[in-house]
Amino acid sequence: MANNQVESALVTTKGQLVVPARIRRRYGIKPGTRVTFIERNGEIVFQPITREYIHSIWGMFKDGPSLTKALLATRAEEKAREDRKLEKHSSR
């Protein structure tokens, strides 16, 4: 974050915000680019989700737990619980 140039914009009555052209060009923000707003330490960080951003975070969590495995385990537990409920009700 060596470049600390200040830009400003107005929010419209519909809550829309126009990103200044210089910033759009610098960060590859084109029509249809998805962005996220992150609240951090009293600031709002505007992060465009571009191909470059996605490539920069690839592998960031490779050493951590597998979220896919955790989700599949949770779903299996939920299914087993539902199966037990069905068996209990069908045996009556």
SS3 content of the chain, % helix, strand, coil (to 5): 40, 15, 40
Q: How far apart are CA 80 and CA 76, in angstroms?
A: 6
- pLDDT given at position 1: 47
- pLDDT given at position 2: 55
- pLDDT given at position 27: 87
Are residues 68 and 32 part of one domain? Answer: no
Count of beta carbons in the 10 Å neighbourhood of residue 31: 5
Are residues 46 and 76 part of one domain? Answer: no
Are residues 45 and 4 part of one domain? Answer: yes
Q: Residue 68's domain spans which residues?
A: 64-92
Question: 62: pLDDT confidence band, cut at 50, 70 and 90?
Answer: low
Residues 6+ apart with CB under 8 A from 48: 27, 28, 29, 33, 34, 35
Average model confidence (pLDDT) for the chain?
85
Are residues 72 and 54 part of one domain? Answer: no
Could you give the residue ranges of the DSSP H alpha helices within 14-90? 21-27, 51-57, 67-90
CATH number at residue 54: 2.10.260.10
**Residue 63 or residue 7, greater confidence:** 7
**Which of 42, 46, 40 is closest to 11 using CA atoms?**
46
Are residues 52 and 74 part of one domain? Answer: no
Q: Which amino acid is at 22?
A: R
